[in-house]
Amino acid sequence: MHIIRISAVWCSSCIVTYQDFLKFKEFYPEFTYEELDYDRDAIEKYKVGSILPLLLFLKEGREVYRLEGEYTKKEMEDIIHEKMGM
């Protein structure tokens, strides 16, 4: 599983949820992670909507799920279990 997080320096929701994202990374070291900046990196291909932060869950390079907005670590884990049966 590859997880991409798209956020922005100026986005307070991104700042508020970053700690939870780091904890999630620690808890699931088996996944690979990528952090992109909305303003500086090439993010067009991910069709980012109007809400940040954005979490993309990819399996074999294909997007299987996306999480928009503020989510806690627990909410992320629930989605992993429910949507991806992991």
Partner 1 sequence: MRKWVCSFLLFFLFISDIEAKQKLYVFHRYDCSHCKEELSYLESIKDTYPDVEFIYYEVLKNPTNLKYLEHVKKTLNDENNYVPYTVIGEYSLVGFNENTKLSIQNYITYCIQNDCEDIVAEVIQKKGAISLEELKKTPKIESVKHEKEFALPFFGKVKARELSLPILSIVLGFIDGFNPCAMWVLFFLISMLLGMKNRGKMWILGISFLLSSAIIYALFLVAWLKVTLPLRDILLLRTLIAFVALGTGCFHLRRYRKMHHRKVGCTVTNRKRRNKIMNLIQKFTKEQNLILSLIGVISLAISVNFIELACSAGLPLVYTQILSLNDLSFFAYFWNILLYIIFYLIDDFFVFCIAMFTLKLTGITNRYSKYSHLIGGILLLGIGLLLLFKPELLLFTM
What does the binding site for partner 1 look like in residue numbers (CB under 8 A)? 8-17, 38-39, 48-53, 68-70
Minimum Å distance from CB 17 to partner 1?
8
Cβ atoms 41, 35 nearer than 8 A? no
Q: Compare residues 8 and 36 and give the one whose CB is closer to partner 1.
A: 8
Minimum Å distance from CB 42 to partner 1?
13
Q: Compare residues 32 and 83 and give the one whose CB is closer to partner 1.
A: 83
Minimum Å distance from CB 60 to partner 1?
26
Q: Compare residues 31 and 72 and give the one whose CB is closer to partner 1.
A: 72
Cβ atoms 5, 34 nearer than 8 A? yes
| C-alpha closest to that of 75 among 60, 46, 53 | 53
Q: Which residues of 22-36 are buried (b: 16+ CB within 10 A; e: fewer)?
A: eebeeeeeeeebeeb
